[in-house]
Amino acid sequence: MTHLYTVTLGVLIAAGLLTLVRLVRGPRALDRIMALDVVVTMVIAGTAVGMTMRDDSTALPVLVVLALLAFIGSVTAAHLVEKRKGMR
Protein backbone atom coordinates (compact mmCIF):
# COMPACT_ATOMS: atom_id res chain seq x y z
CA MET A 1 0.00 0.00 0.00
CA THR A 2 2.94 2.35 0.57
CA HIS A 3 3.84 2.15 -3.12
CA LEU A 4 0.36 3.34 -4.03
CA TYR A 5 0.75 6.41 -1.80
CA THR A 6 4.17 7.10 -3.27
CA VAL A 7 2.89 6.86 -6.85
CA THR A 8 -0.11 9.06 -5.99
CA LEU A 9 2.08 11.74 -4.45
CA GLY A 10 4.47 11.53 -7.42
CA VAL A 11 1.62 12.09 -9.87
CA LEU A 12 0.34 15.02 -7.78
CA ILE A 13 3.81 16.57 -7.72
CA ALA A 14 4.21 16.18 -11.49
CA ALA A 15 0.78 17.70 -12.11
CA GLY A 16 1.59 20.50 -9.67
CA LEU A 17 4.79 21.34 -11.51
CA LEU A 18 2.97 21.44 -14.85
CA THR A 19 0.31 23.66 -13.30
CA LEU A 20 2.97 25.99 -11.91
CA VAL A 21 4.33 26.34 -15.46
CA ARG A 22 0.86 27.46 -16.57
CA LEU A 23 0.72 29.82 -13.60
CA VAL A 24 3.98 31.50 -14.58
CA ARG A 25 3.52 31.53 -18.36
CA GLY A 26 -0.07 32.73 -18.47
CA PRO A 27 -0.76 34.25 -21.04
CA ARG A 28 -4.00 35.69 -19.64
CA ALA A 29 -5.03 36.53 -16.10
CA LEU A 30 -7.79 33.91 -16.21
CA ASP A 31 -5.21 31.20 -16.99
CA ARG A 32 -3.22 32.24 -13.94
CA ILE A 33 -6.30 32.37 -11.71
CA MET A 34 -7.43 28.91 -12.74
CA ALA A 35 -3.91 27.51 -12.38
CA LEU A 36 -3.78 28.86 -8.84
CA ASP A 37 -7.13 27.23 -8.11
CA VAL A 38 -5.80 23.91 -9.42
CA VAL A 39 -2.67 24.26 -7.26
CA VAL A 40 -4.84 24.74 -4.17
CA THR A 41 -6.88 21.67 -5.14
CA MET A 42 -3.67 19.65 -5.51
CA VAL A 43 -2.49 20.81 -2.10
CA ILE A 44 -5.80 19.57 -0.70
CA ALA A 45 -5.36 16.22 -2.45
CA GLY A 46 -1.75 15.89 -1.29
CA THR A 47 -2.73 16.67 2.28
CA ALA A 48 -5.51 14.08 2.11
CA VAL A 49 -3.07 11.44 0.81
CA GLY A 50 -0.62 12.33 3.57
CA MET A 51 -3.36 12.04 6.17
CA THR A 52 -4.28 8.62 4.82
CA MET A 53 -0.65 7.49 4.85
CA ARG A 54 -0.25 8.45 8.50
CA ASP A 55 -3.79 7.33 9.45
CA ASP A 56 -4.24 10.72 11.10
CA SER A 57 -7.16 13.09 10.66
CA THR A 58 -5.90 16.12 12.59
CA ALA A 59 -5.41 18.15 9.39
CA LEU A 60 -9.07 17.82 8.40
CA PRO A 61 -9.95 21.42 9.42
CA VAL A 62 -7.09 22.63 7.19
CA LEU A 63 -8.62 20.74 4.27
CA VAL A 64 -12.01 22.31 4.90
CA VAL A 65 -10.54 25.82 5.02
CA LEU A 66 -8.51 25.23 1.84
CA ALA A 67 -11.58 23.89 0.05
CA LEU A 68 -13.58 26.97 1.07
CA LEU A 69 -10.79 29.26 -0.13
CA ALA A 70 -10.63 27.43 -3.45
CA PHE A 71 -14.40 27.76 -3.85
CA ILE A 72 -14.37 31.47 -3.04
CA GLY A 73 -11.48 31.95 -5.47
CA SER A 74 -13.35 30.18 -8.27
CA VAL A 75 -16.50 32.20 -7.70
CA THR A 76 -14.50 35.42 -7.60
CA ALA A 77 -12.71 34.52 -10.85
CA ALA A 78 -16.01 33.76 -12.56
CA HIS A 79 -17.38 37.09 -11.34
CA LEU A 80 -14.29 38.90 -12.63
CA VAL A 81 -14.59 37.30 -16.08
CA GLU A 82 -18.30 38.11 -16.26
CA LYS A 83 -17.63 41.71 -15.24
CA ARG A 84 -14.92 42.13 -17.89
CA LYS A 85 -17.20 40.71 -20.60
CA GLY A 86 -19.84 43.26 -19.67
CA MET A 87 -17.33 46.11 -20.03
CA ARG A 88 -16.59 45.33 -23.67
CATH at 51:
1.10.287
User: How many structural domains compose the chain?
Assistant: 1
> What's the N-to-C CA distance of the chain in angstroms?
54
Q: Specify whether the CB–CB gap between 70 and 40 falls below 8 A.
A: yes
Which range of residues forms the domain containing residue 64?
2-87
Q: pTM for the whole thing?
A: 0.81
49/7 Cα distance (integer angstroms): 11
Q: Specify whether the CB–CB gap between 43 and 69 falls below 8 A.
A: no
33/31 Cα distance (integer angstroms): 6
Report which of 42, 44, 29 is spatially closest to residue 76, judged by C-alpha positions.
29
What tens digit of pLDDT does each residue of 43-67 get?
A: 999 999 999 999 998 989 989 999 9
What band does 74 get if pLDDT is binned at 50, 70 and 90?
Answer: confident
